Amino acid sequence: MAASKYLTGDPSAIDAFLDKFDTFLIDCDGVLWSGDHVFDGIPETIKLLQSKGKRTVFVTNNSTKSRKEYFAKLSSKGIPCQVEDIFGSSYSAAIYISRILKLEPPRNKVFVLGEAGIEAELESEGIPYIGGTDPAYRKLGMEPADFAGIADGSSLDPDVGVVLAGLDFHVNYYKLAHAHGYLRGNHIKDAKNAKNGGKAVFLATNIDSTLPMYHSFFPGAGSASIVALSNMTGDQPLALGKPSQAMMDAVEGKFHLDRTRTCMIGDRLNTDIQFGVEGHLGGTLAVLTGVNKKEDWERTDAPAVPAYYVDGLADLRGASN
Amino acid sequence: MAASKYLTGDPSAIDAFLDKFDTFLIDCDGVLWSGDHVFDGIPETIKLLQSKGKRTVFVTNNSTKSRKEYFAKLSSKGIPCQVEDIFGSSYSAAIYISRILKLEPPRNKVFVLGEAGIEAELESEGIPYIGGTDPAYRKLGMEPADFAGIADGSSLDPDVGVVLAGLDFHVNYYKLAHAHGYLRGNHIKDAKNAKNGGKAVFLATNIDSTLPMYHSFFPGAGSASIVALSNMTGDQPLALGKPSQAMMDAVEGKFHLDRTRTCMIGDRLNTDIQFGVEGHLGGTLAVLTGVNKKEDWERTDAPAVPAYYVDGLADLRGASN
């Protein structure tokens, strides 16, 4: 495999790089900012790309925020964009449910393990859901009636056809027990004759094991709810976030992009760079302001190797500064 | 491997079986009862064994009840026993911490992910703990200050040396984030020079993936908290419940039993029967009133094969009825 090309401080290489692409898919956490701290020169860099006629699409695995909330954050940081230029794992999941799964009523309801970002995107696609931020599921401990109602399905909703799990800061045993009941098909009376034995389809927005925050790590969507459910049922969910190619297909379908003229920019090898490589994009660019460093992709067991790298995204201004 | 010998309805085989053993280690759920329903003839069978001079020890992976609570349940069902004859995974964990780990103060405190049964057993061994049923940890959602305090360790207890995870019906993101902080060593200021980088020792009472209740299955200790933490840290806990031989060593140490004259009785191949086989006991007896059936141990990939089996434990009365 060819070595990754280093662009920082090399104006002619940067010009050649920019000329290769029409569209840049840009990860947010670790590329544009760390938490609330935007890296130096980021707004100017995005503006530069746009002034050269490049399309900038923001692609994030964070499911807790909707596209509108991401738009608000990008705008408040001075990064020019439109709501339509944002693609999150919650939106990816909603698109998958509405346009690929196309569940027939009445079994078209989604049980949500997650926050408001998922709910907003399901609503935008007109998908009915329960769970999520509903205070009725924000409960600690189990009453005997809770066990009984989940076991015989009497307290479950017979219309649930999907369990969608993402990052949920309010995850608890009561919610997990409900999700597990739907994945087992406890809510379907005639389970033997039902599709897939009455079991709900298991989807995940993303399976990141940890969530980088406050210069430390916290339980990610993959750990706090998804592996718990997988460990009980023995089944893995279809994950709709990077590096899932279901997300790439959705991005391509929406933006009608030419993959050979598209570059994925990110800080994580096993999500961002792998996403671009497996999607056969024209290029991938790693930045060193987030999770992975150069030594990570120089290992023989690296999940993916970027075609280009820069110290930080703002180094792309090199040619024009 | 020799075929399992079927004892039901064969008085002479039962007599020969009973003559081989002085001590019976008996699992509870699926052997004595299912939930609150005691199987027919169980109290009489236990009395019969005791009248023949056999020692009956009750060995359970359920960590939510203390030995005293198990004693109360056994007694209320007419099953004669003493508190000393009961060995649970919580007690096993407490014994391991106090007598094997022997943590030096001040870093000898245990962060508990679990219910009152674990707390009672830690108290019986004089082990200090935090977490558990403390209402302060029964919290849904995360404030910015919660993230900040766990990340820099300022809201964590510097004396925690162990994270002990068991079945916790009140598990939530806030508790998981604390446990993860201790497993990372966020609470130790001079982590580089601390033992194991300041990371707390990761123990589990048991790793059962599901909990059979109300003729269905619910999230077990292994799923609701333990795989979540393992997925974040990449480390597996030392599990103190069956089939862990740490539990067998603790049982042997306490009862001074002759393993060749001891038989393990249970319904689960991958906990009870494996526990007896790997512990080189004189025998193992499977009952068909719980999780596993004959076809399960006849598979080539069976985790363990019992030496004997009966339809139900009460069939051991055959010779004397």
A177–chain B nearest CA distance, Å: 6
Quick check: A229 contacting B, CB < 8 Å? yes
Are A229 and A179 spatial neighbours (Cβ–Cβ below 8 Å)?
Answer: yes
- The string of pLDDT tens digits covering residues A227-248 is 999 999 999 999 999 999 989 9
**Percentage of chain B surpassing pLDDT 90?**
80
Contact A31, A301 (CB under 8 A): no
Task: Return the SS3 of B200.
Answer: coil
CA end-to-end distance (rounded Å), chain A: 32
Q: Establish if B99 touches chain A: CB-CB under 8 angstroms.
A: no
Please report which confidence band the pLDDT of residue A78 belongs to, taking 50, 70 and 90 as the band edges. very high
Round to whole Å and give the CA distance between A85 and A259.
17
Mutate which: A163, A175, A214, A226, vs B, most B CBs within 10 A: A214
Cα distance between residue B204 and residue A217, in whole Å = 22
Q: Which residue of B has its CA nearest to A174?
A: B169
What long-range pairs does A75-79 form, CB within 8 A, spacing at least 24?
A77/A32, A77/A33, A77/A38, A77/A42, A77/A43, A78/A38, A78/A43, A79/A32, A79/A38, A79/A42, A79/A43, A79/A46
On the 0-12 / 13-18 / 19+ scale of CB atoms within 10 A, A243 is buried
Q: What is the pLDDT of residues B20-69, one digit of tens each?
A: 999 999 999 899 998 788 999 999 999 999 999 999 999 999 888 889 99
Residue of chain B whose alpha carbon sits nearest to that of A139: B140
Does pLDDT of A195 surpass 90?
A: no
> Using one digit for the tens of pLDDT, what is the confidence trace for A122-157?
999 999 999 999 999 999 999 999 999 999 999 999
| DSSP character at residue B65 | S
pLDDT of B321 > 70? The answer is no
Average pLDDT over residues B131-138: 97
Judge whether B34 and B289 are in contact, CB under 8 Å: yes
Instruction: Name every chain B residue with its beta carbon within 8 A of the beta carbon of A184.
Output: 216-217
Residue B223 has pLDDT above 70, yes or no: yes
As beta bridge partners, residue B213 has B216
Of chain B, the end-to-end C-alpha distance in Å amounts to: 32
What does DSSP say about strands B283-287 and B262-266: parallel, antiparallel, or unpaired? Answer: parallel
Amino acid residing at B232: M
d(CA B210, CA A105): 31
Which of B122, B112, B68 is closest to B92 using CA atoms? B122
Enter the tokens of residue B229: 């933490």
Unique residue bearing structure tokens 């049980």:
A111
Domains B5-61+243-319 and B105-239 share a fold: yes
pLDDT band at A18 (very low <50, low <70, confident <90, very high): very high
> A54 vs chain B: nearest CA distance in angstroms?
37
In 3D space, the residue among A51, A24, A81, A34 whose CA is nearest the CA of residue A212 turns out to be A34
What backbone torsions phi and psi does residue B168 show, to the nearest 5 degrees? -135, 110
Considering the domain A5-61+243-307+315-319 in this protein, what is its CATH number? 3.40.50.1000
Tokens of B110: 């245990």
Q: What whole-number distance in Å separates Cα of residue A7 and Cα of residue B264?
A: 66
Handedness of CA B154, B158, B163, B167 (dihedral sign): negative
CA–CA gap between residue B80 and residue B71 (Å, rounded) = 9
Report the pLDDT averaged over residues A179-183.
97
pLDDT of A273 > 90? The answer is yes
Query: What is the average per-residue pLDDT within B275-283?
Result: 97
Sorted by sequence, the CB contacts under 8 Å of residue B225 that are 6+ apart come out as A228, B113, B165, B166, B168, B171, B175, B176, B179
pLDDT of residue A216 exceeding 80, the answer is yes
CB contact under 8 A, B169 and A173: yes
Report yes or no: B24 and B263 within 8 Å, Cβ to Cβ: yes
From residue A212, how far is each of A220, A257, B142, B179 by CA, in Å? 8, 31, 15, 16
* Cα–Cα distance measured from residue A30 to residue A208, given in angstroms and rounded to the nearest whole number: 14
pLDDT (tens digit per residue) in A23-48: 999 999 899 998 888 999 999 999 99
As a residue count, chain A comes to 321
Which chain B residue has the Cα nearest residue A218? Answer: B177
Q: Which chain B residues contact residue A216 at CB under 8 A?
A: 150-152, 181, 184, 186
> Of the candidates B150, B152, B209, which has its C-beta nearest A232's C-beta?
B209
- What average pLDDT does the segment B105-126 reach? 95
Are residues A214 and B148, on separate chains, in Cβ contact within 8 Å?
Answer: yes
Q: What are the boundaries of each domain within chain A?
A: 5-61+243-307+315-319, 105-239
Summarize the confidence of residues A279-307 as an average pLDDT. Answer: 95
Looking only at the bridges linking them, the beta strands covering B160-165 and B109-113 are parallel
Q: What is the pLDDT of residue B254?
A: 84
| Alpha carbon distance B275, B265 (integer Å) | 10
- Give 3-state DSSP helix, strand, coil % of chain B, rounded to 5: 40, 20, 40
- Band (pLDDT 50/70/90 cuts) for residue B1 is low
Q: Does A209 reach chain B within 8 Å, measured CB to CB?
A: yes
Give B-chain residues touching A228 at CB under 8 angstroms: 219, 223-225, 227-228
pLDDT band at B165 (very low <50, low <70, confident <90, very high): very high
Question: pLDDT tens digits for B242-276?
Answer: 999 989 988 998 888 999 999 999 999 999 999 99
Instruction: Report CA-CA distances (Å) from B201 to A15, B102, B236, B238.
Output: 52, 12, 10, 9
pLDDT of the residue at B289: 92
Give the mean model confidence (pLDDT) for residues A254-273.
94
In this prediction, residue A194 carries a pLDDT of 86
Report the pLDDT averaged over residues A58-73. 92
CATH hierarchy code of domain B5-61+243-319: 3.40.50.1000
Indicate the SS3 state at residue B45: helix
Between CA B289 and CA B29 the distance in angstroms is: 9
Residues A66 and A85: their CA atoms lie apart, in Å, by 13
Does B169 touch chain A if contact means CB atoms closer than 8 Å?
yes
Fold assignment, A105-239: Rossmann fold (3.40.50)
| pLDDT tens per residue across span B140-160 | 999 999 999 999 999 999 999
Whether A188 contacts chain B with CB within 8 A = no
Shortest CA gap A19–chain B (Å): 40
In this predicted structure, which of A84-93, A290-299, A312-321 has the lowest mean pLDDT? A312-321
Q: Is A301 exposed, middle or buried (0-12, 13-18, 19+ CB in 10 A)?
A: exposed
Q: pLDDT value at position A123?
A: 96
| Residue A215 confidence (pLDDT) above 90 | no
The answer to whether residue B209 neighbours chain A at the CB level (below 8 Å) is yes
Give the model's pLDDT for residue B211. Answer: 86
pLDDT category at A320 given cuts 50, 70, 90 is: low
With CA atoms as reference, the chain B residue closest to A144 would be B214
Question: Taking 70 as the threshold, does the pLDDT of residue B320 lie above it?
Answer: no
Provide the number of CB pairs (under 8 Å) joining chain A to chain B: 121
| Partner residue facing A214 (CB), from B147, B209, B222 | B147
Q: CA-to-CA distance for B311 and A91, rounded, in angstroms?
A: 53
- Please tell me the distance from the alpha carbon of residue B167 to that of residue B133, in angstroms, as a whole number: 12
